[in-house]
């Protein structure tokens, strides 16, 4: 009897997978989240690509190609940071986190499921954006393994940093209604100063220095090193792709996000005693 009970008890992995299934179902059922994560960046890519796509930001590099790298980076960051932070805040307001915390589901399995959901959604989002860039704006994709390896590690580090920061930021929101007022201005500021909507070197230098502190600038620059020709590295602010600095800054933000999340995460509403 004891052996049978032990063998049938759910494992950490099975609970994490089950929770991931719940997270994915909840995501696909939320029209607002689906629009924000998928439709909004697609609309931006189509809009900016149609208006400025044919203009060159450097010899042989169109704005559409430059913007694709930026919108991919922004999409990854927004999915892990903005969407996740606001989603968790909504769950907290509705006491869903409180109920989850009262179940046998380990906290680590819950966060693993959240992180896996962000990763899966980001992969689909990037695939859709890249497909639009290739089909509508003749964006060329890398033909060698080295560039795709760069894409993988920049994507993984960027997604992880955004996810940990999103979990941490969720607890800074006193309620879900404050999400848009607090998170959206931060994201917009980073988008305009990190080389997403504007060519990074055309931004005032003091704003470039501010953007260098945060992960989106490095995520966008890392994506440019994948989707833009090697010759464009000379047009970057420091004349190179700065891959070591990209890896270090993103890794540091992962550590910062983890520390903040561990110290600040709340399972209950702020007004709960």
22-35 pLDDT, tens digit each: 999 998 888 888 88
DSSP state letter for 10? P
Report CA dihedral (52, 151, 195, 65) to the nearest 10 degrees: -10
How far is residue 25 from each of residues 14, 30, 154, 234, 271, measured CA to CA in Å? 17, 9, 28, 45, 29
3-state secondary structure of 105: coil
Contact 166, 80 (CB under 8 A): yes
* Predicted confidence (pLDDT) at residue 5 exceeds the cutoff of 70: no
Which pLDDT does position 59 carry in this prediction? 84
125-154: average pLDDT: 93
Whole-number Å distance between alpha carbons of 98 and 260:
20
144-170: average pLDDT: 96
Output the six-digit token pair for 254.
């992962």
* Predicted confidence (pLDDT) at residue 108 exceeds the cutoff of 90: yes
209-221: average pLDDT: 97
159-180 pLDDT, tens digit each: 999 999 999 999 888 777 777 7
DSSP state letter for 233? G
Percentage of residues in the chain with pLDDT exceeding 90?
A: 66
Output the six-digit token pair for 91.
């769950």
71-101 pLDDT, tens digit each: 999 999 999 999 999 889 989 988 999 999 9
**Element (DSSP H or E) covering residue 26:** helix 12-29
**Element (DSSP H or E) covering residue 57:** strand 56-58
* Predicted confidence (pLDDT) at residue 3 exceeds the cutoff of 60: no
Contact 73, 79 (CB under 8 A): no
Q: How confident is the model at residue 1 (pLDDT cuts 50, 70, 90)?
A: very low
């Amino acid at each position: 009897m004891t052996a049978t009970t032990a063998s049938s008890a759910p494992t950490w992995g099975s609970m994490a997978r089950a929770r991931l299934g719940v997270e994915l179902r909840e995501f696909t059922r939320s029209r607002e989240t689906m629009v924000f994560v998928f439709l909004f960046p697609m609309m931006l890519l189509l809009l900016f690509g149609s208006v400025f796509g044919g203009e060159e930001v450097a010899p042989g590099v169109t704005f559409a190609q430059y913007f694709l790298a930026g919108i991919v980076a922004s999409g990854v960051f927004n999915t892990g940071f903005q969407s996740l932070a606001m989603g968790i805040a909504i769950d907290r307001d509705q006491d869903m986190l409180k109920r989850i915390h009262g179940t046998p589901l380990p906290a680590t399995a819950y966060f693993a499921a959240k992180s896996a959901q962000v990763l899966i959604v980001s992969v689909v989002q990037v695939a859709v954006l890249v497909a639009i860039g290739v089909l509508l704006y003749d964006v060329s994709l890398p033909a060698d393994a080295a560039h795709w390896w760069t894409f993988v590690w920049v994507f993984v580090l960027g997604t992880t940093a955004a996810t940990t920061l999103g979990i941490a930021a969720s607890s800074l929101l006193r309620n879900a209604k404050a999400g848009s007022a607090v998170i959206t201005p931060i994201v917009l500021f980073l988008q305009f100063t990190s080389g997403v909507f504007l060519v990074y070197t055309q931004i005032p230098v003091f704003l470039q220095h501010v953007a260098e502190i945060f992960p989106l600038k490095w995520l966008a620059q890392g994506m440019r090193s994948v989707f833009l020709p090697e010759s464009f590295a000379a047009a970057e602010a420091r004349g190179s792709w700065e891959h070591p600095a990209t890896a270090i800054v993103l890794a540091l933000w992962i550590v910062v996000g983890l520390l903040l999340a561990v110290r600040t995460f709340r399972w209950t509403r702020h007004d709960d005693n």
